[in-house]
Amino acid sequence: MNPPAAQPVLSLSAMGKDYAAPVLDDVSLVLNAGEVLALTGENGAGKSTLSKMVCGLVQPTRGQMLLDGQPFAPGSRRDAERLGVRMVMQELGLVTTLSVAENLLLDRLPHKTGWIRRARLHELAALQLAKIGMQNIDPATPVARLGIGQQQMVEIARNLQDDTRVLVLDEPTAMLTPRETSHLFEQIDLLKARGVAIVYVSHRLEELQRIADRVAVLRDGRLVDVRAMAGVRESELVQRMVGREVHEHEGRERRVAGPVLLSARGIGRAQAVRGVDIDLRAGEVMGLAGLVGSGRTELVRLLFGADRADRGEITLHENGKVTHHARKGWRSPMQAIRAGIGLVTEDRKSQGLLLPQSIRVNATLSDLGAVSRAGWLQPAKERGIAQKLVELLRIRSRNIEQPVATLSGGNQQKVVFARWLHRECKVLLLDEPTRGVDVGARADLYAQLDRMTDDGRALLMVSSDLRELMAMCDRIGVMSAGRLVAVFERGEWSEQSLLAAAFSDATGRAANPQASAAPSTESTASAVPDQTAVTADTP
């Protein structure tokens, strides 16, 4: 049964939240059955705070909510879920030590007189995964073994329940590629048809145009605009969010590439990375595209020594001479760091940041916190550097002593980035560096990347956002099922050709939980070509 169009499911009136200072004030909003409301705004505008209040994760300081006309004041996430109000969190809420199946069915584990029925559990989990095209993830896999994009899909699957009335998706696609995103959108359409009210938070404005019926803009904790999505131009939205014009880097010139600084030959690890050759040159940005699970993150981790390679070699060059040579890769990240390599991680929560610590500590933390060069800290200098970085990247905070845990998601990401801005490194690897960063702030980060290439550093950037890669990179390599299947020069690529390459070699997933599925047939692409033509068809 389809409910009539404008039937309010949830209404908020004069909602507000104070921490040390107010972060949200006077938000009144109605959510209708069967509609998607896009919620947008700059990093720190209050989107997650508002979402969490609706879903019982944060207690409002002021205001009331009504669910189906009844007073609604959930005291916890469970409370809200019991009434069918669910949230896909920006910072994933999975228990990483449990399996995929256990996470999916945590509150409804099938049991028989106290014993969990494993077979049944896995069967139910597999069904739920199949809904979003993730049937190739083994439900028994511990969540910790999945890449972060796959974790995101599990978090989504967990919240696709039949009793859902309101679903809040807080940046569900920040780490997803077009394939996973389209699976998610299919599910959203189904939910809409069932009359679920959906709130969709994203910094990817083109998605909002595709999926949303209305759009609400938050600025400094206040609702500044709510209107129908149809006909709204992206530039208008940006203007409302940021209050200034933002220029995107489109149609840039190719940078002048210098000598090769890093080269890897045949580098690999088990099935995740199957022998990749790659050269990174001074003064250029190379991009790395591919589906979730294609091995992009895994390759970057090998180049940084975060995982140990089981084959291949890495060499670093300076002035035409080899300065470092690592057979079977680096023994540890420390070795890579000493050789002049840096990594901005995709998973800021578990790998990037010391969450309880301040911005100052995190931004100036050197050498992964393990090596201290001089032995003495210089507090004044440290504060000076942190202050400069906060201003440079417009990190929204009370002051540099604010714990990173209490920053908004996008602002945490800026801190991860800031750390490597202040360190010397010749080769910087960036894994989803702009994940969850708003349009305005993204332009700030891009400007910093330009400055680094001007300084002659070599950059390798993984991003799920093809538009971003096409705007920023001089070359784009495409990974598929652990192989680098194609490398395109600026001017040669199109969204179509990049996607075709991404789908070209995705076979043999079942044995490998790190890789995700793609509807593709037997592989024809050879390993490690440079400049190969793409032979595969789009799926």
Ligand X SMILES: Nc1ncnc2c1ncn2[C@@H]1O[C@H](COP(=O)(O)OP(=O)(O)OP(=O)(O)O)[C@@H](O)[C@H]1O
Residues that bind Mg ion (CB under 5 A): 47-48, 90, 409
Of the residues 48, 99, 463, 480, which one makes contact with ligand X according to CB under 6 A: 48
Amino acid at 464: S
Total of residues contacting ligand X (CB under 6 A) = 20
Using alpha carbons, select from 519, 492, 510, 512 the residue that is nearest to residue 502: 519
Cα–Cα distance, 438 to 237 (Å, whole number): 12
Report the distance separating Cα 11 and Cα 201, nearest Å: 18
Query: Interface with ligand X includes 43 (CB under 6 A)?
Result: yes
Closest residue to ligand X using C-beta atoms: 410
Half-sphere exposure of 487 (CA within 13 A, CB side): 18
Query: Is 408 near ligand X (CB under 6 A)?
Result: yes
Distance (Å, whole) CA 78 – CA 55:
9
Distances (CA, A) of 523 to 505, 507, 514: 5, 7, 18
Q: What are the distances in angstroms from CA 95 to CA 36, 104, 140? A: 28, 10, 14
Minimum CB distance to Mg ion, residue 164 (Å): 21
Give residues 256-275 in contact with ligand X (rule: CB under 6 A): none
Q: What angle do CA 248, 254, 256 make, to 5 degrees?
A: 130
CB nearer to ligand X: pick between 80 and 300: 80
Pairing of strands 260-269, 273-281: antiparallel
Place of tokens 């996470």: 103
Classified as helix, coil or strand, 205 is helix
Report what 297 binds from ligand X, Mg ion, none; CB cut-off 5-8 Å by kind.
none
Give the residue from 478, 507, 482, 431 showing the smallest Cα distance to 272: 482
Closest approach of ligand X to the CB of residue 468, in Å:
16
Taking CB under 6 A as the criterion, the residue among 10, 37, 38, 45 binding ligand X is 45
Question: Closest CB to ligand X among 265 and 394?
Answer: 394
> Does residue 177 interact with ligand X by CB under 6 A?
no
Closest CB to ligand X among 24 and 469? 24
Beta-carbon contacts of residue 189 (< 8 Å; ≥ 6 apart): none
Residue 482 binding ligand X, by CB under 6 A:
no
Q: What is the CA radius of gyration of the chain?
A: 23
- Of the pair 49, 434, the CB lying nearest ligand X is at 49
Contact mark string toward ligand X, 357..396, x via CB under 6 A: ---------------------------------------x
Place of tokens 């043999």: 508
Residue nearest to Mg ion (CB): 48
Binding site partner of 283, from ligand X, Mg ion, none, Cβ cut-off 5-8 A by kind:
none
Beta bridge partners of 477: 288, 487
The answer to whether the CB of 439 falls within 8 A of the CB of 203 is yes
Residue 294 touches ligand X, criterion: CB under 6 A:
no
DSSP helix/strand/coil, 400: coil
Stretch that binds ligand X, among 43-51, 79-87, 227-235, 284-292 (CB under 6 A): 43-51
Question: In residues, how long is the chain?
Answer: 539
Which of 15, 36, 47, 505 touches ligand X (CB under 6 A)?
47
> What does 396 interact with, of ligand X, Mg ion, none (CB < 5 to 8 A by kind)?
ligand X
Which of ligand X, Mg ion, none has residue 157 at its interface (CB below 5 to 8 Å by kind)? none
Least Cβ distance, residue 198 to ligand X (angstroms)? 17
**Nearer to Mg ion (CB atom), residue 80 or residue 300:** 80
Residue 16 in the binding site for ligand X (CB under 6 A):
no
Name the site residues for ligand X (rule: CB under 6 A): 19, 23, 41, 43-49, 90, 396, 406-411, 436, 438
